Structure 1
Amino acid sequence: MKGSVIALDRYKGRMAAARIVDGHLEDLLIEPPESVTLPGAIFRAICDRPLKGQGGMMLRLPDGETGFLRQGKGLKPGQAILVQVTGFAEDVKAVPVTQKLLFKSRFAIVTPDAPGLNVSRSIRDDDDRVRLLEIAHDVMQEADEGLILRSVAATASDDEIAEDIAQMLDLSRSVRKDGDGATPELLIDGADPHHQAWREWPEPDQLDAADGAFDRHEVDDMIDAALGSRVPLPGGATVFVEPTRALVAVDVNTGGDTSPAAGLKANIATAHALPRALRCRGLGGQIVVDFAPSPKKDRRQIEQALRAAFRADGIETSLVGWTTLGNFELQRKRERMSLRACLKGTK
């Protein structure tokens, strides 16, 4: 099927959202177990103990959870601060948090700690930029908070954008009033998959939010494929994406293609497919790619393809570079729980 579809449903009892483009799973969001703290959640936390030599601070969160703040300079034990969860905690580790709060909606992001009005760089039309800045000035006026207008705002109406900005601004001020207190408290929970899909994904050609949406679009089969390591590539090549305790290993095979350019073709196809493969599997951290054999002169072309693919991905990923053994290393932010860990315990 050509075009894009967003299917909102439940998968094995968990709230879930799938984005399908031209019949292929492009993105997948599944609700993690109830005990897991969602990224984006905002807490009033209590400083517990500094980490000497690291500059960080351990924090007390509600329900006996522990948070880790990387920049704890100037904070004292017992002090109440507002923090936002930046990612999923690894096994037996503290929840990663930051003091730089973001109040994010579909069109606007209010940034209390970063004043100034900004428009997404991907909006290049001068008329659109002027229109959006005029709306921002009208709503924000003399506000101390900062604002970022997201790329999708270019297609929204003036009223929709203004309402979105006003709601996020009010939410920001309401939450920051609750910063003082003697006990840790959850002030805003992270977005569930359906809300996150509305907020982050582009407008689809078809939205299917009725019961049975996953069955109608064969999403269950796509999830089963994502739970495996094999990713087929155009031309018969294959890439295997396999998480280990230390890193994510990616292996590229050219398949039956024995032409002189087989390696380069498979590697370019891998560069295009890798962001989607990692995104749908919820994988991050250290990633090592064992590309198919190809001459060193092709490395620049492969790296350019990687940069273009990950630039459009949306999850922060650093392309570290080539190793002595000829592998390529990446570092990807852990914004999501791995698909296997998310579904652990389901039937």
Structure 2
Amino acid sequence: MKGSVIAMDRIFGRQAAARIVDGALDDLLVDPPDDRVRPGAIYRAKAGRPMKGQGGMILETPDGPLFLRNAKGIAQGDTALVQASTYAEREKAAPATQRILFKGRHAMLTPGAPGRNISRAIMNQERRAALQEILDEVELPESLGIVLRTGADAAEDADVREEIGRLADIAGMVLNESLSGRPARLLDGPSAPELALRDWPRSRDLDDSPGSFDRFGVDEMIDALRSPHVMFGGGSVAVEPTRALVAVDVNAAGSSSTAAGLKANLAALRALPRALRLRGLGGQILVDLAPLAKRDRRSVEDTAKSAFRACPVDTTFAGWTPLGHMEFLRKRERLPLHEVVT
């Protein structure tokens, strides 16, 4: 099956969305359990105990604790408007930020960061001029900035205007809430289908009717993700999460030479972003490579950076360990699949 398909269905009682490209699962989003704080949710939170030595503070919300880094000017007992930024590590509070964002497919509103900007990824000057006209005519409070995202490039002008108006209404509702009162969730974080429609490339084929996962074989693809092994020409890679980090082991097929190892390492690093994305894995990623000569490290680095740059989940190359392992830091945008799908 050539081309891309977006399927939306339920799995284990939760909403989910799958993106299938040329017959293979390319991305997967699944709603978290009800007791987990969802990234993007906005809260009126109450400041609890400060975390000495970390410059942060634990915040109380109706959905569980949040951790606010750089909590300067907030005293214990104060209330603050915050947004959950990523999922929490096991047995830890979910990270939060006071830098609130209202994000849509075409636009993003930025309270407290005024300005009107267009994504640099939109290169066509005629399109940029048309989008600038939209920005010039938009009426927003002075304290509310706006950024037109890459998705605005191919969108109809009317759709861009409509979304800006909708986001402005949501922002006004949230920002006008009183900070006095009990902790409360003021805005839900986006669901898996909402994230898919907001962030994934458009597809002509969208199937959101019940049974879509069965029709496109998504259930079987998800079952295959229970195995840590990813096979590719010339070797395999094992992706195994632990409490502290995600361990990745690269194996060259049938050879221990550095030439075979280099080939396997390059192929493994190209496949790794998808393997992590589908399994919802983030945090510290440690890669134990196949045999590699030091002179080939730059080539391996460049391949890894290029592969992760094309992935929608922010990932940073942290460097080489003394034992020659590659280390990455990856944003925890998703819950690990093994915690969501049992």
Select between 144-153 and 44-53 the one with higher mean Cα deviation: 44-53
Q: Sort the Cα spacing of 1:167 and 1:212 in 2 relative to 1 into closer, same or farther, 3 A.
A: same
Gaps of at least 5 residues in structure 1 are none
Give 1:238 deviation, angstroms.
0.8
Hey, which bits of structure 1, 4+ residues long, moved more than 4 A? 257-260
CA contact (8 A) 1:56 1:69 kept: yes
**Partner of 2:190: helix, strand, or coil?**
coil
**Partner of 2:153: helix, strand, or coil?**
helix
**Partner of 1:83: helix, strand, or coil?**
strand
Q: Counterpart amino acid of 1:78?
A: G
**Partner of 1:195: helix, strand, or coil?**
helix
1:75 match: 74
Give 1:240 deviation, angstroms.
0.6
Deviations 1:36-81 (A, max 9, x none): 1111000001112222332212211115x22210111111222221
**Partner of 1:38: helix, strand, or coil?**
coil
Q: Counterpart amino acid of 1:42?
A: I
Select between 309-318 and 97-106 the one with higher mean Cα deviation: 309-318
Deviations 1:164-211 (A, max 9, x none): 111112211210111422210011111111111101101014111121
Residues 163-312 of structure 1 aligned to structure 2 (within 5 Å):
163-233=162-232, 235-256=233-254, 261-312=259-310
Residues 1-347 of structure 1 aligned to structure 2 (within 5 Å):
1-62=1-62, 65-140=64-139, 143-233=142-232, 235-256=233-254, 261-344=259-342
- Alpha-carbon distance in structure 2 between the residues aligned to 1:238 and 1:76: 52
Give 1:219 deviation, angstroms.
0.5
Q: Give the CA RMSD over aligned residues.
A: 1.6
Q: Sort the Cα spacing of 1:172 and 1:141 in 2 relative to 1 into closer, same or farther, 3 A.
A: closer
Deviations 1:140-175 (A, max 9, x none): 466321111111110001110011111112211210
**Partner of 2:338: helix, strand, or coil?**
helix
CA contact (8 A) 2:248 2:288 kept: yes
CA contact (8 A) 1:82 1:179 kept: no
Q: Counterpart amino acid of 1:241?
A: V
Aligned length: 342
**Partner of 1:227: helix, strand, or coil?**
coil
CA contact (8 A) 2:257 2:291 kept: no
Q: Counterpart amino acid of 2:194?
A: H
Q: Counterpart amino acid of 2:196?
A: A
Tell me the TM-score normalized by structure 2. Answer: 0.96
- Alpha-carbon distance in structure 2 between the residues aligned to 1:274 and 1:205: 27
Deviations 1:279-314 (A, max 9, x none): 110101111111111222221111111111111212
Select between 68-77 and 122-131 the one with higher mean Cα deviation: 122-131
- Alpha-carbon distance in structure 2 between the residues aligned to 1:59 and 1:312: 34
- Alpha-carbon distance in structure 2 between the residues aligned to 1:142 and 1:32: 34
Q: Counterpart amino acid of 2:328?
A: L
Q: Sort the Cα spacing of 1:75 and 1:259 in 2 relative to 1 into closer, same or farther, 3 A.
A: closer
User: How high is the sequence identity, in percent, across the aligned residues?
Assistant: 51
Gaps of at least 5 residues in structure 2 are none
- Alpha-carbon distance in structure 1 between the residues aligned to 2:29 and 2:295: 38
